[in-house]
Amino acid sequence: MGKALDGVRILDFTHVQSGPTCTQLLAWFGADVIKVERAGAGDITREQLRDVPGADSLYFTMLNHNKRSVTIDTKNPEGKLVLEALIQKCDVLVENFAPGALDRMGFTWERIQELNPRMIVASVKGFGPGPYEDCKVYENVAQCVGGAASTTGFDDGPPVVTGAQIGDSGTGLHLALGIVTALYQRTMTGRGQKVLAAMQDGVLNLCRVKLRDQQRLERTGVMKEYPQYPNGTFGEAVPRAGNASGGGQPGWILKCKGWEHDPNAYIYFITQAPVWVKICNVIGREEWATHPDYATPDARLPRLKDIFAEVERWTMTKTKFEAMEILNEHDIPCGPILSMKEIAEDESLRKTGTVVEVDHPVRGKYLTVGNPIKLSDSPTDVKRSPLLGEHTDEVMAELGYSREQIDALRTAGAI
């Protein structure tokens, strides 16, 4: 069966997490992704957080599936010529170097356009144009400057970053969408274009609801679904909302049986209005279904703390999975707090290919997250990440270099 991006060639000049997330997705959709790495060293993550001596780290292997690796010294004049040949042969160049690095290497937008006017040049940067555009940025910096940290955590504690890599992987996802959109536009214009996904912008896009709340706060001075209401105070900016639900369906994390010794024996419980009567019945507070203090969403808002305490008295008598099963029978939205151990062992995630076991010649078997986006006509086959420079000779031959030329370039340190 063919793949959605069959025939698309990507010059993958990415490293660390944000860029590799993007190109890995494109590879899973069928693009030929040629990862260009520094000769002799490679992507810095190959050796970061190593758990098996001498083997590429999980950090690297889990972000670089289905790619080919070539090593080129792009600061060496002969290496630059090899990169030029690749630029002429590829459809998209993806990079996430520090601002200006590509220009310093001699590959400005103008130069790339000269070499290949159809080339799409896609970049992740920390910030868009403005006072911080020259800054280097990592995941947690992006979470802080994109509004996530100031709105995450509890009211009485400091800002908190989330485990979801919304700055790196989130921006990689944004960039991938920009690239396929630009490829589509190119089918009509015949021209390439620049695609920029700034990490601050990507995080803010994911924090859209908090900018909504900022404006609600300025208009009304209070947000009734936040835990600060009715007893706490609101300041000038959107406060940290603890575990409150983002929208108009109040929710909270509640203890389940075993919480005293299991840090994840909790469930997320949503008091969705259409099933309020069922909630009352399940937790044994049937009278709340008609009581004026509880029967309507508005009446419940100032009493949410007490309501969740009462629901928790019920959830504490069940394991999180028992509670989930009972609540599901009544269509009450909820979700157990799953540990990474439970996710790794989850059979249904294995069946759908969201969690995949991959074999690697140096490190052996490991688990990875497969393609989270399923296309019915373009199935994903997760293949191990390449060894450093594994495909240098193969790609050089495809570019038209002879055996002797390849050997000479290698002796010159260009590849």
**Residues in contact with ligand COA by the rule CB under 6 A:** 16-19, 36-38, 72-75, 96-98, 101, 104-105, 124-126, 136-138, 168
57 carries a ligand binding annotation: no
Q: Report the residue number, 81 or 309, with the smaller CB distance to ligand COA.
A: 81
Tell me which H or E stretch contains 398.
Answer: helix 392-398
- The residue of the chain with the least Cβ separation from ligand COA equals 98
CA separation for the pair 73, 415 (Å, rounded): 6
- Provide the pairing of β-strand 266-270 with 251-255: antiparallel
Written as six digits, the tokens of 295 are 């029967």
Catalytic residue selected from 91, 168, 201, 213: 168
Q: CB 388 → ligand COA: shortest distance, Å?
A: 11
* Shorter beta-carbon distance to ligand COA: residue 310 or 390: 390
Q: Reduce the DSSP state of residue 355 to 3 states and report it.
A: strand
CB of 295 to ligand COA, least distance (A): 50
- Which of 145, 279 has the CB closer to ligand COA? 145
91 a catalytic residue: no
- Contact partners, residue 65, CB within 8 Å, separation at least 6: 24, 27, 28, 358, 368, 382, 383, 384, 385
Whichever of 161 and 244 has its CB closer to ligand COA, that residue is 161
Say which amino acid occupies 210. Answer: K
- 215 exposure class (CB count in 10 Å sphere: 0-12, 13-18, 19+): exposed
Nearest approach in angstroms of CB 205 to ligand COA is 16
Shortest distance, position 350 Cβ to ligand COA, whole Å: 28
17 assigned binding-site residue: yes
Nearest in space to 230 (alpha carbons), one of 302, 294, 326, 316: 302
For residue 52, the 8-state DSSP code is S
Find the length of the chain: 415
97, 124 Cβ separation under 8 angstroms: no
Q: Which spans in 197-346 are helix H?
A: 199-206, 208-220, 276-283, 297-300, 304-315, 320-329, 340-344
CB closer to ligand COA, 4 vs 105: 105
Q: Rounded to a whole number, what is the largest CA-CA distance in the chain?
A: 87
- Contacting residues for 188 by C-beta, under 8 A, at least 6 apart: none
Q: Going by C-beta distance under 8 Å and a sequence separation of 6 or more, which residues neighbour residue 410?
A: none
Does 123 show up as a binding residue in the annotation?
no
Rounded to a whole number of angstroms, the minimum distance from the CB of residue 2 to ligand COA is 31
Distance between CA atoms of residues 289 and 278, nearest Å: 8
Nearer to ligand COA, 27 or 334 (CB): 27
CB of 277 to ligand COA, least distance (A): 48
Q: Does 139 appear as a known binding residue?
A: yes
248 is in an annotated binding site: yes
Name the residue nearer to ligand COA (CB basis): 125 or 384.
125
What order do you get walking across the sheet with 251-255 strand by strand?
Answer: 251-255, 266-270, 334-336
The pair of structure tokens assigned to 388 is 């450093």
Give me the least distance between CB of 404 and ligand COA, in Å please: 23
Q: Is 38 annotated as a binding residue?
A: yes
Token duo for residue 230 = 């009715």
Q: How far apart are CA 284 and CA 326, in angstroms?
A: 13
Q: Is 130 annotated as a binding residue?
A: no
Catalytic residue list: 168
Annotated binding site for CoA: 17-18, 38, 96-98, 104, 136-139
Residue stretches of the annotated binding site for substrate:
247-249
